[in-house]
Amino acid sequence: MGKLFVIKIGGNIIDDEAKLDRFLKAFSLINEKKILVHGGGKLATDFAEKLGIKQKVLDGRRITDAETLKVVTMVYAGYINKNIVARLQSYHCNALGLCGADGDAILAHKRNHPVIDYGFAGDIDTVNTKLLALLLQQDITPVIAPITHNQKGQLLNTNADTIAQELARGLSDDYEVSLVYSFERKGVLLDVHDEDSVIRQLNKVDYYQLKSKDRIFAGMLPKLDNAFIALGSGVKKVIIGNAEEIGELIRGKQGTTIMND
């Protein structure tokens, strides 16, 4: 069983041209098979505001009305996705940009919440692992934008962290999968104001203890919840840390390694 890295890039890295370029150059040097999932940074919000489309966010999740869906599709699946692909090609990494509708890659449904209407936000139903495995076998690196579809003609805005987790879980039968969440932080921090307070290893018991004491930054909680779901579903390893250190990160020399026990 070969190794596969499912790497999610997000945070302020996408908004910083120099940092993004350093990450992509290092990413291209990873010899093992790899998939890149990206978020949208602040670009979608900035673009929407310039168009006079007011943005609403609840619990860290964007409310995706019809006009916002147009913006995020253009920004995520258009400019950001193709910009990343073009840069990877310049580093001789043969990348192919996809959103969930392409090749029926990711099927989702409109989120059904008892209280909040998240608009055209999608929750994942299935991942087309056969398509992704076929691309990987041809040494093509998929670059996935966080737009999915419901197979009825409707596009949906879907959380990139969750997409990465679902891809990692879906491909764990065919590969020894490591899921990597990379962004501007060095890892899971014991003190959000101290970049050197990285928790090098974190298991579920310690996580819940720290969470109960509010010792973990709220913005990190969804990543950690996704990490433990992935580990419970066949994913070999989950790593969280700085995108610019991706080479060291995937080898466990930097960042936080999440473990089941």
**How far, in Å, CA of 199 to CA of 209, rounded?**
14
What are the structure tokens assigned to 206, written together?
Answer: 């310690």
Domain count, the chain: 1
| 3-class DSSP assignment, residue 206 | helix
Quote the pLDDT of residue 62: 79
Query: For the chain, what percent of residues have pLDDT higher than 70?
Result: 98
Rg of the chain over CA atoms, in angstroms? 17
Count, residues in the chain: 261
60: pLDDT strictly greater than 80: no
Three-state SS letters, 86-119: HHHHHCCCCEEEECCCHHHCEEEEECCCCCCCCE
| 3-class DSSP assignment, residue 159 | coil
**Non-local CB neighbours of 24 within 8 Å, separated by 6+ positions:** 84, 87, 88, 91
**How far, in Å, CA of 177 to CA of 32, rounded?**
11
pLDDT tens by residue, 85-122: 999 999 999 999 999 999 999 999 999 988 888 999 99
108, 63 Cβ separation under 8 angstroms? no
Residue 37: which CATH number? Answer: 3.40.1160.10
pLDDT tens by residue, 180-224: 999 989 999 988 889 889 999 999 899 989 988 888 887 888 889
Tell me the CA distances in angstroms from 197 to 187, 189, 205, 213, one per residue in order: 9, 5, 19, 17
Residue 41 pLDDT class (50, 70, 90 cuts): low
pLDDT tens by residue, 76-85: 999 999 999 9
Residue with tokens 């998929």: 142
Residue with tokens 């090098």: 200
pTM recorded for the entire structure: 0.94
pLDDT tens by residue, 131-141: 999 999 999 99
Other CB atoms within 10 Å distance of the CB of residue 189 = 19
Q: Work out the average pLDDT over 48-55.
A: 88
179: pLDDT strictly greater than 70: yes
Other CB atoms within 10 Å distance of the CB of residue 69 = 19
- C-alpha 91 chain-centroid distance: 21
| 3-class DSSP assignment, residue 32 | coil
**How far, in Å, CA of 244 to CA of 250, rounded?**
11
257: pLDDT strictly greater than 90: yes
pLDDT, mean over the chain: 92
Range of the domain at 28: 3-259
What are the structure tokens assigned to 32, written together?
Answer: 């093992």
Residue 73 pLDDT class (50, 70, 90 cuts): very high
Other CB atoms within 10 Å distance of the CB of residue 158 = 27
